[in-house]
């Protein structure tokens, strides 16, 4: 855990706190609008599709697909230098929304657009656990 | 007001020196640009009744335009600072034109400068720029600004088969133009191999796919079309302008490969009553090479997905079908941050005055300038011409 304390730790807000608590509990939570049947990410006070406030938190499958990625060879700050080379990816979740994360647990050169991934959780501090992704296990086995 | 077309003109344009200028503060550069443009337009400061600036990252003020007015001891009736990243310059132009046409003021000074090279440490500059990411849902994962744009590049390669060599051709074209521009920072010719062999920064972007980090300032003066006879140089008219705002954070973009430059370009061309093939040259925001390629597609200079083929074989170089970034662009002329596009604007004025020397586009009559800010987020397109109609 010590290696993460100087990174840019997220600061939860009232609308995002349930998401970050979900990560602490190793659950990827998304907001779901019961008025228009749509998942959304990032967390908001309203549904950005229909402006309803009928939002509830639902646990996502944790699976997604890499839509794009890059391998960073020059870290953004010293706190990230030990991670170089690291993958920044945009991942389209099975439920629809897209999120940014890192793809870990594999050779960075093996990451491709279209790669199936699943969420894993990485504890950074007492309050913050980060949602990261690794190649989907069945895909590795198969 | 029905349209801004032909109602406003640029009657002054000037740049400060650019590059590494530790002897100047950002405020000093901003004021130097203002002094130079007043000389170019041959007016005294009391004639300026509108002032628009953008804030400096290296020397920020709470109310930047007011601070610059105070420093200059001018007392405008229209005073505003704008922040839209790389789109700032042309968003400001849009606001200034609207202010003149609606009678809020008659003569607007736009002056912008920053010192990203000398006023910030390298780490400060990287942190400042990567703060364009979302504080909770992007920045913690460690993206750099090149990484954000690499996501665009990779998505385009995956969807359309675009190659890293095609991105490199954009850097080569900008450098070729910079070699003809005595004020450009980088004036050694490069080849596609040089780009491909430069250090990888964020795959697939190499060092030479990335723009410079500079100090510098630039300014223009705008007034209504019926006042242009009061100024010494040929006026350059605003024929069309349009904006498009699609997102702030790249993870929220509707598309990674097609941006809201589609909207800004369509609006600008519609106002001007012109089409992409009418443009004699284009200055397209080039913070990274893929940005230019996507803009060429989105603005309609080629079909969506065909930007890679369009930039090959010198097509965007002087003498080619559409010369792009005739001064060298952010890639090879200079890039002091938000003011970066000002140099594309002053270059366009120089070209349309017919005063660009060795890099003059022969017979240039109309051109498009385009800025984008954030991560392909906010877009403003402007069409400028020698003739009012």
Give every CB contact of residue A101 below 8 A, 6+ residues apart in sequence: A89, A91, A130, A131, A132, A133, B141
Residue B290 C-alpha, separation from nearest chain A C-alpha, in angstroms:
14
Query: For position B273, what pLDDT does the model report?
Result: 97
Three-state SS at B10: strand
The total number of residues written for chain A in this structure: 142
Same CATH fold assignment for domains B8-120+214-236 and B140-213+240-385: yes
- Regions of chain B where pLDDT drops below 50: 1
- Chains A–B, number of C-beta pairs less than 8 Å apart: 106
**How do strand A129-135 and strand A116-123 relate by DSSP bridges?**
antiparallel
Q: Which parts of chain B fold into alpha helices (H)? A: 26-41, 64-72, 88-101, 122-130, 145-160, 164-178, 192-197, 261-272, 289-298, 307-310, 329-332, 340-352
By a Cβ cutoff of 8 Å, what residues of chain B touch chain A?
123, 126-127, 130, 134-144, 146-147, 150-155, 158, 199-205, 250-252, 256
Is the separation of the CB atoms in B325 and B173 below 8 Å?
Answer: yes
Rounded-to-integer distance, Cα B216 and Cα A103, Å: 39
Question: A68 vs B135: CB contact, 8 Å cut-off?
Answer: no
Q: Cα–Cα–Cα angle for A121, A127, A129, nearest 5°?
A: 10
Three-state SS at A51: coil
Rounded-to-integer distance, Cα B354 and Cα B360, Å: 7
The total number of residues written for chain B in this structure: 389
For residue A33, report the phi and psi dihedrals to the nearest 5 degrees. Answer: -90, 115
Using a CB-CB cut-off of 8 Å, the residues of chain A touching B144 are 72, 74-76
Is the separation of the CB atoms in B11 and B228 below 8 Å?
Answer: yes
Domain B8-120+214-236 has CATH 3.40.47.10: yes
Residue B7 C-alpha, separation from nearest chain A C-alpha, in angstroms:
39
Task: Tell which of A76, A99, A123 to mutate to test the B interface (max B CBs under 10 Å).
Answer: A76
Residue A120: exposure state from Cβ atoms within 10 A (0-12, 13-18, ≥19): middle
Look up tokens 């400061």; give the residue. Answer: B45
Using a CB-CB cut-off of 8 Å, the residues of chain B touching A74 are 144, 146, 201-202
Query: For position B86, what pLDDT does the model report?
Result: 82
Structure tokens at A21: 């608590």
Residue B270: name the closest of B237, B309, B240 by CA: B240
Residue B28: exposure state from Cβ atoms within 10 A (0-12, 13-18, ≥19): middle
Q: With the C-alpha atoms ordered B36, B38, B42, B46, is the resulting torsion angle positive or negative?
A: negative
pLDDT tens-digit profile of B211-264?
Answer: 999 999 999 999 999 999 999 999 999 999 999 999 999 999 999 999 999 999
Rounded-to-integer distance, Cα A25 and Cα A39, Å: 20
Q: What percent of chain A has pLDDT above 70? A: 95
pLDDT tens-digit profile of A58-96?
Answer: 999 999 999 999 999 999 999 999 999 999 999 999 999
Rounded-to-integer distance, Cα B246 and Cα B259, Å: 7
pLDDT-derived band at A140 (thresholds 50, 70, 90) equals low
Query: For position B169, what pLDDT does the model report?
Result: 98
Minimum CA–CA partner of A99 in chain B? B251
Question: B147 vs A70: CB contact, 8 Å cut-off?
Answer: yes
Using a CB-CB cut-off of 8 Å, the residues of chain B touching A9 are 140
Across the interface, of A8, A90, A101, the residue whose CB is closest to B151 is A90
Q: Where are the domains of chain A?
A: 14-141
Task: Tell which of A5, A29, A68, A121 to mutate to test the B interface (max B CBs under 10 Å).
Answer: A68
Query: For position A139, what pLDDT does the model report?
Result: 59
Look up tokens 């964020």; give the residue. Answer: B202
Q: H-helix or E-strand containing B326?
A: none
How far lies B84's CA from each of A31, B203, B217, B264, in Å? 30, 27, 17, 14
Write the DSSP assignment of B62-103 as a string of letters.
TTHHHHHHHHHT---SEEEE--BTBTHHHHHHHHHHHHHHTT
Topology classification of domain B140-213+240-385: Peroxisomal Thiolase; Chain A, domain 1 (3.40.47)
Minimum CA–CA partner of B154 in chain A? A68
Across the interface, of B151, B200, B204, the residue whose CB is closest to A88 is B151
Across the interface, of B130, B151, B201, the residue whose CB is closest to A73 is B201
Domain A14-141 has CATH 2.40.50.840: yes
Cis peptide before B204 (omega within 30 of 0): yes
Q: Cα–Cα–Cα angle for A70, B198, B215, nearest 5°?
A: 90
Question: B142 vs A100: CB contact, 8 Å cut-off?
Answer: no
Is the separation of the CB atoms in A89 and A103 below 8 Å?
Answer: yes
Rounded-to-integer distance, Cα B261 and Cα B380, Å: 7
pLDDT-derived band at A1 (thresholds 50, 70, 90) equals very low
Minimum CA–CA partner of A114 in chain B? B158
Query: For position B166, what pLDDT does the model report?
Result: 98
Q: Where are the domains of chain B?
A: 8-120+214-236, 140-213+240-385
By a Cβ cutoff of 8 Å, what residues of chain A touch chain B?
7-13, 16, 41-42, 67-78, 80, 83, 86, 88, 90, 98-102, 113-114, 130
Does residue A37 surpass a pLDDT of 50?
Answer: yes
Query: For position B352, what pLDDT does the model report?
Result: 98
Rounded-to-integer distance, Cα B299 and Cα B321, Å: 15
Structure tokens at B271: 């106002």
Residue B210 C-alpha, separation from nearest chain A C-alpha, in angstroms:
13
Using a CB-CB cut-off of 8 Å, the residues of chain A touching B152 are 68
Three-state SS at B278: helix
Look up tokens 């972007």; give the residue. Answer: B205
Does residue A40 surpass a pLDDT of 90?
Answer: yes
For residue B205, report the phi and psi dihedrals to the nearest 5 degrees. Answer: -90, 125
Residue B26 C-alpha, separation from nearest chain A C-alpha, in angstroms:
25
DSSP 8-class letter at B324: B
Residue B254 C-alpha, separation from nearest chain A C-alpha, in angstroms:
10
Is the separation of the CB atoms in B324 and B292 below 8 Å?
Answer: yes
Query: For position B127, what pLDDT does the model report?
Result: 78
Q: H-helix or E-strand containing A70?
A: strand A63-72
Cis peptide before A42 (omega within 30 of 0): yes
Structure tokens at B150: 């690499």
Using a CB-CB cut-off of 8 Å, the residues of chain A touching B126 are 76-77
Strand partners, A100: A90
Q: H-helix or E-strand containing B377?
A: none
Query: For position A142, what pLDDT does the model report?
Result: 43
């Amino acid at each position: 855990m010590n290696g993460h304390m100087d990174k840019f730790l997220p600061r939860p807000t009232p609308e995002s706190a349930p998401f970050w608590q979900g990560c602490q509990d190793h659950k990827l939570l998304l907001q779901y609008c019961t008025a228009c049947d749509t998942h959304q990410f990032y967390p908001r006070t309203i549904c950005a599709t229909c402006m309803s406030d009928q939002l509830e938190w639902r646990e996502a499958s944790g699976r997604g697909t890499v839509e794009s990625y890059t391998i960073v060879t020059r870290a953004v700050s010293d706190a990230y230098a030990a991670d170089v080379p690291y993958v920044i990816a945009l991942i389209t979740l099975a439920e629809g929304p897209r999120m940014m994360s890192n793809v870990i647990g594999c050779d960075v050169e093996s990451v491709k657009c279209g790669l199936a991934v699943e969420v894993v959780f990485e504890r950074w501090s007492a309050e913050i656990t980060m949602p990261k992704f690794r190649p989907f296990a069945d895909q590795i086995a198969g | 007001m029905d349209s801004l077309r032909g109602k406003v003109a640029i009657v002054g344009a000037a740049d400060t020196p650019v590059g590494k200028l530790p002897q100047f503060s950002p405020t000093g550069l901003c004021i130097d640009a203002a002094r130079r443009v007043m000389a170019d337009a041959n007016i005294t400061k009391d004639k300026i009744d509108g002032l628009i600036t953008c804030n400096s990252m290296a020397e920020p003020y709470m109310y930047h335009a007011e601070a610059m007015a105070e420093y200059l001891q001018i007392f405008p009736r229209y005073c505003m600072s704008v922040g839209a990243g790389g789109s700032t310059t042309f968003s400001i132009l849009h606001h200034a034109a609207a202010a003149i046409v609606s009678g809020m003021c008659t003569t607007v000074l736009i002056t912008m400068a920053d010192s990203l090279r000398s006023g910030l440490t390298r780490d400060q500059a990287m942190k400042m720029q990567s703060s364009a990411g979302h504080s909770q849902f992007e920045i913690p994962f460690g993206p750099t600004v090149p990484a954000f744009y690499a996501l665009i590049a990779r998505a385009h390669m995956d969807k359309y088969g675009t190659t890293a060599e095609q991105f490199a051709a954009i850097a080569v074209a900008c450098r070729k133009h910079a070699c003809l521009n005595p004020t450009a920072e980088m004036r050694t010719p490069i080849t596609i191999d040089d780009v491909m062999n430069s250090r990888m920064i964020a795959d697939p972007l190499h060092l030479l796919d990335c723009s410079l980090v500079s100090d510098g300032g630039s300014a223009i003066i705008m007034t209504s079309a019926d006042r242009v006879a009061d100024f010494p140089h040929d006026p350059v008219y605003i024929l069309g302008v349009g904006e498009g705002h699609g997102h702030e954070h790249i993870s929220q973009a509707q598309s990674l490969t097609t941006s809201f430059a589609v909207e800004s370009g369509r609006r600008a061309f519609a106002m001007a009553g012109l089409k992409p093939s009418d443009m004699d040259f284009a200055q397209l925001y080039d913070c990274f090479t893929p940005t230019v390629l996507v803009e060429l597609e989105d603005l309609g200079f080629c079909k969506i997905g065909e930007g890679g083929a369009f930039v090959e074989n010198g097509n965007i170089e002087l003498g080619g079908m559409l010369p792009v970034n005739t001064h060298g662009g952010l890639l090879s002329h200079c890039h002091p941050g938000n003011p970066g596009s000002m140099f594309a604007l002053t270059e366009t004025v120089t070209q349309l005055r017919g005063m660009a020397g060795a890099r003059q586009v022969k017979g240039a009559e109309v051109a498009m300038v385009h800025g984008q800010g954030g991560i392909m987020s906010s877009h403003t397109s402007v069409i400028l011409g020698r003739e009012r109609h």
